[in-house]
Amino acid sequence: MLTIAWDVDDVLNELMRVWFAEIWELSHPDCGLHYDDIRENPPDRILGIEREEYLRSLDLFRTSERARRMAPNCAVLHWLELYGSKCRHIALTARPLDSVPAAAEWVFRHFGGHLRSFGVVPSRLDPDMPVYDADKGGFLRWFSGSTVLVDDSAENVCAAKASGVQGLLYPQPWNESSNTVAEALDHLTGMVASQS
């Protein structure tokens, strides 16, 4: 049975969109940017701030009550209702370890009917912490049951493909996907059908 590894931030949820609207725009009302102007991730250069300032703000948001209340991605939920039973699912995230418990709780609250596993490749680690995998491709190589990674990062999709795992780039303003969300999910449906 095909296993799909779903990225959490900006695929299962709209973390960047919500952070931008509820944190960045509110604290920078004259910024003049819109979400669709975020053509890079991380967007520190576009926002005109230091990377550390951006990461601090995003990390604080990730553990906030507002992040806990984020709505799940309706398109992905709908896809799972239609096709989710034809394969197995894992959530796979790259974020700091201190925000993982909140993310796991959020994932299982919204997607627990389909996603039964949760994997983490920390985006930043303290120097004394062990490094098991450098990227999601390394995790998937170890996990070996996953055959498709759905992610908003072209870099993660490339790492998965280099590990022999199929990848599907989920459309976001910062990546070069030429697909709409519906087209990307239709492509995923075709990948699932070809394995059945």
pLDDT tens for 5-16 read: 999 999 999 999
User: Distance between CA 142 and CA 146 in Å, rounded?
Assistant: 9
pTM of this structure: 0.85
- Contact of 3 with 144, CB cutoff 8 Å: no
What's the pLDDT band for 145 if we cut at 50, 70, 90? Answer: low
Q: Is 1 or 71 the better-scoring residue by pLDDT?
A: 71
Burial class for 148, CB neighbours closer than 10 Å (0-12, 13-18, 19+): buried
- Closest alpha carbon to 164 in 192, 137, 188: 137
- Closest alpha carbon to 111 in 6, 1, 22, 2: 6
pLDDT score at 130: 82
pLDDT tens for 34-67 read: 999 999 999 999 999 999 999 999 999 999 999 9
- Contact of 94 with 136, CB cutoff 8 Å: yes
- Closest alpha carbon to 97 in 121, 72, 68: 121
The DSSP bridge pattern shows strands 3-7 and 88-93 to be: parallel
